[in-house]
Structure 1
């Protein structure tokens, strides 16, 4: 009899927990991803003919053309972004090809990173308070923080970024959201073998930049955390494309963009293999700002004085996304719309 009572007590203790876990597993999840400063021109037309053979920006034009040059824009973009154009296009929606009149724009007038990320994450530009990339805690509340404050998503939100300003953009102190950014290592006692390896190698892997780590670390820290903690709301910000562009290294810019396409594929494959995420996860991918095109050297730059730096793009795929493919009609979207799209997904 005592054994029976003990078993019943265990059942009563764990039954609500199991039911709660089931609810959490069945609800919708969102993975929001940004590719810092990736131009819409490369996304939709592939390697730029004026840049790929330009020795000012490419150290080995022969090898780069062997990797990414094709005679048509469609073939060039497919070889640069194979996952996007062979998978996402068929199952999701891709906006921002201005050649067809599909426009996605910023509403802030700064046209650089902190204002762009603030706009994406809060749904509103703030040109009065967000006017630099300085490490100033964001006075605005992001959607990540708002969700983390709800009973439903409390403790189920996480962010990973290559740029070390993100703890300030997300305001980790006020929001309570774990933000692994810059040269942060993974924290916790239950780290995976890969997280432990990343922690060991990060301090001994020089980055070309003082405030941005290589995206390989950001990507794998995010992926391993998802495997270990199963957050419902994940934000990942890759940073290499912007920094390689600022350095005028078109070769590294293209290779980094190509690597990020592989990161997207790996995240997709994982979420489709894990029952917690499979068929319940929506991906939203965008960028914080554009870059220049004319004069040619403005491809390295952005900001309010650079024509075209406010032109961006947007992709959605996964659970609940209509397979519109590449939108080839006139439309006007803004990155401020992303917050509402997330709320609609989670509704």
Structure 2
């Protein structure tokens, strides 16, 4: 009898894993290092008044005795929910590596690689030039069940070019573009977007406004695919504001916890939605001032990380060892989680089998 029950449990588990997700959320945190994701706060930056103006407050908020405690202080949703119910990649201290494959190690080439599965050397600046490559979002928007049900919300205005809003027809709310209020909540968000100080210039919307605009859209429109791209983590790092950078990472983690909690109350999403969280590039680490920088002149800023959870994603937590993974594998992985093989007129990295092998 025990053998029968074991086999029954096994087949139920395999069957559940094999069911593709019906909805997908992709989240990017611009320029967040794997070091903070897996180890928490870096003491050499957290306790230095050059990078953390109020070191006493920084210590109280983010310091703890062990890396495991420190990382939870920054990203409790990532570790207490995704870490227990999904998978995390990129802890190089455990021999698990994930890299960008583009040769530039900065934002637009990274976003193109994430979305198109292709490190295209034509994209070698952060100029707002429409992406010549078909992205996985555009591919999915062409599928009958997903047509008109893909949405993009980004803090950085170049993201609307990365998804090629004009060609793809995917609505991409970015930076400080005007909205068309329908409800009083919409009107408030529109006013805040217009009037809130633009700390990092007209091309960047405050991340909290990006999140609440996306949340309102999810409530009203219920898209099946949502790309949510945050930016201020990178801007704060450029400015050398380490404590503020960590607070922004923590805030975004809180937004994701709120979004996940909300969609679990919505029949369309509950138990049917996969989420992937990643970054476009890494940052420097030695000497410590290189944390502010990235790009080919900054060693190791090609190193990235990934978190995944939801239907089709095994509950295996933090990964160790294994083959080197690449950013160009994410597009095909996203499609595979929904039961599709991403095809395009350009090369596409293969899906990450350890995430999506149940959805073939």
TM-score (norm. length: structure 2): 0.86
Q: Matched residues in 2 for 1:276 and 1:186: separation?
A: 26
8 Å contact kept, 2:99–2:303:
yes
Aligned to 2:282: 290
Superposed CA offset, 1:42-71 (max 9, x none)? 000000011001111111000111101111
CA 78–27 in structure 1, closer or farther in 2 if over 3 Å, else same: closer
| Structure 2 SS opposite 1:273 | coil
- Give the Cα–Cα distance (whole angstroms) in 1 for the partners of residues 275 and 183 of structure 2: 24
For 1:221-260, list aligned pairs within 5 A: 221-260=213-252
Q: What is the alpha-carbon distance in structure 2 between the residues aligned to residue 290 and residue 325 of structure 1?
A: 22
Shift of 1:193: 3.1
CA distance in 1, matches of 2:41, 2:22: 36
5 Å matches for 1:55-94?
A: 55-94=49-88
Q: Structure 1 CA distance, aligned partners of 2:144 and 2:320?
A: 41
SS of 2:123 mapped into structure 1 = coil
Is there any run of 5+ residues in structure 1 with no aligned partner, and where? 1-25
User: What number of residue pairs does the alignment pair up?
Assistant: 319
Q: Map of 1:165-244 to 2, 5 A cutoff? A: 165-187=158-180, 191-210=182-201, 211-244=203-236
Q: Could you list the runs of 5+ residues in structure 2 that have no partner in the other structure?
A: 1-19, 340-360
Would the aligned equivalents of 2:106 and 2:295 in 1 still touch at CA under 8 Å? Answer: yes
Task: Give the aligned partner of residue 338 of structure 1.
Answer: 330
SS in 2 for 1:31: strand
1:313 to 297, 300, 305: 305
- The alignment's TM-score, normalised by the length of structure 1, stands at 0.90
Deviations 1:113-172 (A, max 9, x none): 000000000001001x10100011111111111111222211001100000111111111
SS of equivalent residue, structure 2 residue 118: coil
The range that moved more, 112-121 or 317-326, is 317-326
Contact 1:185 1:198 (C-alpha < 8 Å) held by counterparts: no
Q: In structure 1, how many angstroms separate the alpha carbons of the residues matched to 2:46 and 2:33?
A: 15
Alignment partners' CA distance in 2, 1:346 and 1:94: 19
Residue 259 (structure 2) pairs with residue 267 (structure 1): yes
What is the rounded CA distance, in whole Å, between the counterparts of 2:180 and 2:290 in structure 1? 40
Tell me the CA shift for residue 27 of structure 1: 6.7
Q: 1:205 & 1:246 partners in 2: Cα distance?
A: 21
Q: Distance in 2 between matches of 1:60 and 1:264?
A: 27
Counterpart Cα distance in 1 of 2:183 and 2:292:
38
Cα RMSD (Å) of the superposition?
Answer: 1.3
- CA distance in 1 between counterparts of 2:26 and 2:72 reads 23
Residue 27 (structure 2) aligned to one of 30, 33, 42 = 33
Judged with a 3 Å threshold, the aligned counterparts in structure 2 of structure 1 residues 187 and 319 are, in CA distance, closer, same or farther, namely farther
Find the counterpart in structure 2 of residue 16 from structure 1: none
Distance 2:21 2:304 in 1: 30
Question: Residue deviations 1:235-287, cap 9 Å, x none?
Answer: 00011100000000111101000001101101111121110101110001100
SS of residue paired to 2:26: strand
State the 4+ residue runs in structure 1 displaced beyond 4 angstroms.
none
1:110 maps to: 104
Distance 2:96 2:219 in 1: 36
